[in-house]
Amino acid sequence: MDSVDLEVLKSSARWLGEGCRVLLVTVVKTWGSSPRPAGAMLAVRDDGQVAGSVSGGCIEDDLIDRVRRLGIEQQRPEAVKYGITAEEAHRFGLPCGGTIQLVLEPLTPQSGIGALLEAVTRGELVARTLDMATGAATLQPARSTEGVSFDGQRLVTVHGPRYRMLVIGAGQLSRYLCQIALGLDYQVTVCDPRQEYTDTWDVPGATVVRTMPDDTVLDMKLDERCAVLALTHDPKLDDLALMEALKTPAFYVGALGSRRNNAARRARLKEFDLSEAQLARLHGPVGIYIGSRTPPEIAISILAEVTAARNGVSLPTLLQVEGAKAAMAASGR
């Protein structure tokens, strides 16, 4: 599954290769409520076909109408705003008070979209700097903490996998989870030393390693933009990896299992040199409670909790598996 950025870049490069004109639209700033964040992209082909999004749909409709009526005749990038007045906000489907600033960029050979696509496909994290006066763009290595920057003369956007995810175990659940995680723009590594699992792994885009999980945690040098999920049910694989992961700044560390297994796991981890604060960071049973039964449903519940943690959202107890099941038991359900 392609990330949204990759879909836009692939479509843009393909359309340019077919001889079409393409307008690349990038969200550079928002005020108040806005449907899409800074950095979101939309590509509009000269016949009105699109890839990506910059709003809930109404701004896209306006841009498509503009391209169909006027074509893509502009030679240089320009900045525009939507939603400045209450009437415009209502017209373009923006929430009350929402304003969005976009850069409209007609793509040319100087735009370097092909080179950008190649870098992102290789898994590189790159910053693209667009000169508003000339339309020329350059690429440089980027850091995961960098974001969108626009001063009227230059637009700097960051492309590529800004978050990493380590999945312990290459089982069926991991397949569904990794497919969705790739679409959420994670650089995914699957670790499983068991040959019978890795030999049949077939999720394009996810890197597979066969080293011991605790060694992999140390090798990856996890930072605050990393998530770790232990999904094997095998303490020999999960526990040592969790022990090392809980010592890192990773924003999310979770393990699959029932409430009973989770309690046993925590008891085992207490025997290692983990502080109470480190142990408290462990998410388990992993995921939010949505009544999931099948591997795809469980994958969705897990990634919903990971996404909440990534966005700094604290979930209420009743959404967490342990809290929800305890409440159901207390009510006799």
- Note whether 44 and 22 are within 8 A (CB): yes
Q: What is the model's pLDDT at position 291?
A: 85
For residue 225, the model assigns a pLDDT of 87
Query: What is the predicted pLDDT for the residue at 86?
Result: 61
pLDDT digits (tens, 9 = 90+) for 81-131: 987 566 665 666 555 557 889 999 999 999 999 999 999 888 788 999 999
Dihedral pair phi/psi, residue 262, rounded to 5°: -65, -40
pLDDT tens-digit map of 27-65: 999 876 666 788 999 999 999 999 998 887 788 888 999
pLDDT in tens, 206-220: 999 999 999 999 999
CA angle centred on 209, ends 268 and 270, rounded to 5°: 10
Task: List 252's β-bridge partners, or say none.
Answer: 227
Contact criterion met (CB below 8 Å) for 119 and 160 = yes
Dihedral Cα 240, 242, 248, 251, nearest 10 deg: 170
pLDDT score for 97: 55
Q: What gap in Å lies between CA 241 and CA 244, rounded to an integer?
A: 5
Question: Rounded mean pLDDT of 208-234?
Answer: 93
% residues pLDDT > 90 (the chain): 59
User: Is the pLDDT assigned to residue 163 strictly greater than 70?
Assistant: yes
The structure tokens listed for 311 are 């966005």
For the chain, what are the domain ranges? 4-159, 163-330
Residue 207 backbone zone (phi > 0: left; psi -120 to 50: alpha; other: beta): beta
**pLDDT digit string, tens, across residues 273-329:** 888 899 999 998 899 888 888 999 999 999 999 999 998 888 776 666 666 666 666
Q: Residue 53 CA to chain centroid, in angstroms?
A: 15
Q: Can you give the pLDDT at residue 188?
A: 94
Q: What is the pLDDT of residue 273?
A: 80
pLDDT for 26: 96
Give me the mean pLDDT over the 5-15 stretch: 92
Cα 226 off chain centre by: 11
Q: What is the pLDDT of residue 329?
A: 62
Contact present, 152 and 133 (Cβ < 8 Å): no
- Judged against a pLDDT cut of 50, whether residue 1 lies above it is answered with no
What average pLDDT does range 11-27 have in this prediction?
Answer: 96
Q: Indicate the range of 42-46, 145-149, 194-198, 302-306 predicted with least confidence.
A: 145-149
Mention every residue, 6+ apart, whose C-beta is less than 8 A from residue 272: 243
Work out the pLDDT band at 18, boundaries 50, 70, 90: very high
pLDDT confidence of residue 184 = 87
CB distance 231 to 171 below 8 Å: yes
Residue 292: its pLDDT value, please? 84
Which of 69-78, 102-111, 174-183, 318-327 shows the lowest mean pLDDT across its residues? 318-327
Q: Label each residue of the chain as H, E or C.
A: CCCHHHHHHHHHHHHHHCCCCEEEEEEEEEECCCCCCCCCEEEEECCCCEEECCCCCHHHHHHHHHHHHHCCCCCCCEEEEECCCHHHHHHCCCCCCCEEEEEEEECCHHHCHHHHHHHHHCCCCEEEEEECCCCCEEEEECCCCCCCEECCCEEEEEECCCEEEEEECCCHHHHHHHHHHHHCCEEEEEECCCHHHHCCCCCCCCEEECCCHHHHHHHHCCCCCEEEEECCCCHHHHHHHHHHHCCCCCCEEEECCCHHHHHHHHHHHCCCCCCHHHHHCEECCCCECCCCCCHHHHHHHHHHHHHHHHCCCCCCHHHEHHHHHHHHHHCCC
Residue 205 banded pLDDT, cuts 50, 70, 90: confident
Domain 163-330 has CATH 3.40.50.720: yes
The alpha carbon dihedral of 144, 241, 261, 274 has a sign of: negative
